[in-house]
Amino acid sequence: MIKIIERIVRKKCILWPQAGKAVMIKEAVEFAVEAHRGAVRKGTQVPYIVHPLEAAVIVGTMTEDEELICAAVLHDVLEDTDASEEELRRRFGDRVTDLVVQETDDKTRSWQERKRNKLERAKEAETELKLLILGDKLSNIRSMARDYLLLGEDFWQRFNEKDKDAHAWYYWGMADSLKDMEKYEPYKEYVELCRRVFGEPPAASEENK
């Protein structure tokens, strides 16, 4: 898996002028593979690690910043595994860890509260965090679009929040929060996939009535 993702990342034209940068990304991949071992994507048998690796590849199409790519690889380890913030700081440094912390949801809150908070944070975020969020969300909507095509409306039953309209509110809200990323191809793909899954954004739908 590690060798596969390294080949994919290189094909996406990420340049590592220093060997240490390639090593850092490899170490992040190894850490994430172990942290997510045994976990699968919700409602599937797809290994969970596929998601953060895909998010890292997406981020790598937009930046050569190896710490940001590492943060993409690691973005779910605090939220979904036993990994600790202290361990991340020791192994990957403050900048990578701070990005992961900012991308981590507080699961003690309700779904609606978490998503509203995420939209607000994304809107106010610096560019580097927005790139990280975009990589994460594009990976998610790609997976949703594939499975929705196969399962239709039954697809929403795999989530704790089963209301399709609630997901539409969140994903279109994220498109608005990340609108200043529209020069990047991943943002354009994100918007197109939102249209396939949810139809036109609510504002556009209202205007067309």
For residue 104, the SS3 value is: coil
The answer to whether 5 and 29 are in contact (CB under 8 A) is: yes
Choosing from 6, 27, 65, 79, which is the catalytic residue?
79
Q: Phi/psi of residue 40, each to 5°?
A: -125, 160
With the CA atoms of 73, 167, 142 and 28 taken in that order, what torsion angle do they form, in degrees rounded to the nearest 10? 0
Question: Is 136 one of the catalytic residues?
Answer: no
Contacts of 184 (CB under 8 A, 6+ apart): 61, 62, 131, 134
Annotated active-site residue 147? The verdict is no
Q: Helix (H, G, I), strand (E, B), or coil: what is residue 165?
A: helix
CA distance 158 to 139: 17
Determine the Cα–Cα distance for residues 174 and 123; give it in Å rounded to an integer. 8
Q: Active site residue: 65, 80, 87, 128, which one?
A: 80
Positions marked active-site: 79-80
